Chain A
């Protein structure tokens, strides 16, 4: 309580104020600092003279220290063999679909039997299909990122 009263009393006292030109002076100082442009004549001569050349055999000394970089060959995540397997599985599924459609043809001579049975087959194993698609997509994405990230060369 006492402390609050003391604070209020102190806050009643006006603080000392700097001169009216105070803010203006600071702002003009900031403006001067912001303006870093050299006088054109000086800028020109500084630009011509400030950097120093190294020795004449500088470049050849560096080049002598370098060994060729070899590109690291990143094997794709989905190998050729894996693609063959995937193609084989898809072909097998189609084959099963065709076979089952032929069986159906005996009972119902529907021209779209192959498509129907394929759709049925897909519906029957919908969960497995989704899982299969997720695996393929992940492999493709992984393949893309691995190639993109690590394809640069290392010594």
Chain B
């Protein structure tokens, strides 16, 4: 259903109806921004990169061959654009040099019970604490429900590598969030 809707709006944009693009921006802005934020680690840079990604996707929409979902194509643009920005800033995405989690291994020790806001903060911090790339993979796999194949396409990583990183991230998340599960 989502694909057909995307297709409808893409076609309208290609026919010259710019306003139809608003629908696509609204639908994917959260994910595009989150990907950018995961890679660039700075809210302002991420916002600029996310906007650039949408503009670039618009400019290249006529080259979108429908071999993949529009979202996969868009996230690939975002991912590459962010990596280029990192290069320009002479910073490095933890692609080869894995950064260590900010927290010590082991579950979070938090007193008392958690309200919704606490939960949200803890989860975000847990994901934030993952090495950057693993955080991004969690976002794509668990949140956006992209398949391994689609993630391969977006990131250019090998399937086995993606699986290992996801497996590692899953273990860390389950350990860190075990308090929340027990609470439920």
Contact = CB atoms under 8 A, between A and B. Distances in A.
B141 interface: yes
Given A33-B167, A66-B18, A71-B16, A50 B142 contact: yes
Contacts of B166: 36
Interface residues of A, number: 36
Nearest to A47: B143
B173 A50 contact: no
A36 B163 contact: yes
B142 A49 contact: no
B50 interface: yes
A2 interface: no
Contacts of B167: 32-33, 36
A87 B34 CA distance: 61
Contact of A54 (B50, B119, B120): B50
Interface in A58-73: 58-59, 61-63, 65-71
Contacts of A63: 18-19, 21-22, 25
Given A47-B142, A71-B15, A153-B16, A52 B173 contact: no
A33 B34 contact: no
A55 interface: yes
Interface in B124-147: 124, 127, 138-139, 141-143
Main secondary structure of the interface of B (DSSP, over half): helix
Interface residues of B, number: 48
Contacts of A54: 29-30, 33, 46-47, 50
B55 A65 contact: yes
B76 to A, nearest CB: 18
A62 B54 contact: yes
Contact of B16 (A32, A49, A55, A68): A68
A51 B50 contact: no
Interface string A117-155: 000000000000000000000000000000000001111
Given A49-B123, A155-B59, 15 more contacts: A42-B180, A45-B119, A46-B123, A46-B127, A46-B143, A50-B143, A51-B30, A53-B29, A54-B46, A55-B47, A58-B50, A59-B25, A62-B51, A65-B55, A66-B58
Interface of B: 13-19, 21-22, 25-26, 29-31, 33-34, 37, 46-47, 50-51, 54-55, 58-59, 61-62, 119-120, 123-124, 127, 138-139, 141-143, 163-164, 166-167, 170, 173-174, 177, 180-181, 184
15 contacts: A33-B163, A33-B167, A38-B142, A41-B184, A42-B180, A42-B181, A45-B123, A46-B142, A50-B142, A54-B33, A58-B33, A61-B51, A62-B51, A65-B51, A71-B15
Interface of A: 32-34, 36, 38-39, 41-43, 45-55, 58-59, 61-63, 65-71, 152-155
